[in-house]
Amino acid sequence: MERNSWDTAIRCLEVALHPNTSDEEVLAAINGYRRTAGGASLADLARKGAPAANPGELQAEYERLNRENLDLRRMLMRRVDESEQRLCDLSEELLAARSRASLAEQLLAELRVAHVEITAGLRDEIRGLRDRASTDRPSMRSPFRDFLAAASARSPWTA
């Protein structure tokens, strides 16, 4: 029996013996084994064993798998290196952003203090101007107000 047929026959028996296999699947797997084994019994398979592969083929397969393994390792290491570099870059950006945020908070606090000082100064100045205006011209009347009063006194529309 060829290696592929032998593997298929053993796989059919594995499926038939699996605890989660239903009764119908067990029967199908056993029939599959019988067809694949071509009348050979399990004892025949055990005595013959798996057909031995060509040592040259095994060596070539081993070398191919070894090369694939090395390529995958290199690729993974490259990705790890790229990820570490990106992490370092992001850490530096985060540190710079924190520094800028701290500076912005400090400037905002200074602006608030300056705003309070300017506002207080303006209030004092306005208060002083109001006080001075009330003491300097208590009896002054506006010429425009006098003109309006005179015009309204002569107006035919006012009653």
0.95 cut: is pTM over it?
A: no
- Helix, strand, coil percentages (3-state) for the chain, rounded to 5, are 80, 0, 20
Structure confidence by residue, pLDDT tens digits, 39-84: 777 777 666 655 556 778 888 888 999 999 999 999 999 999 999 9
Question: How far from 57 is each of 1, 60, 113, CA to CA, in Å?
Answer: 19, 5, 83
pLDDT at 114: 95
Is-contact 40 10, C-beta < 8 A? Answer: no
Structure confidence by residue, pLDDT tens digits, 86-110: 999 999 999 999 999 999 999 999 9
Concatenating the DSSP letter of every residue in 7-48 gives HHHHHHHHHHH-TT--HHHHHHHHHHHHHHHTT--HHHHHHH
Q: In this structure, what token pair is assigned to residue 134? A: 């009330």
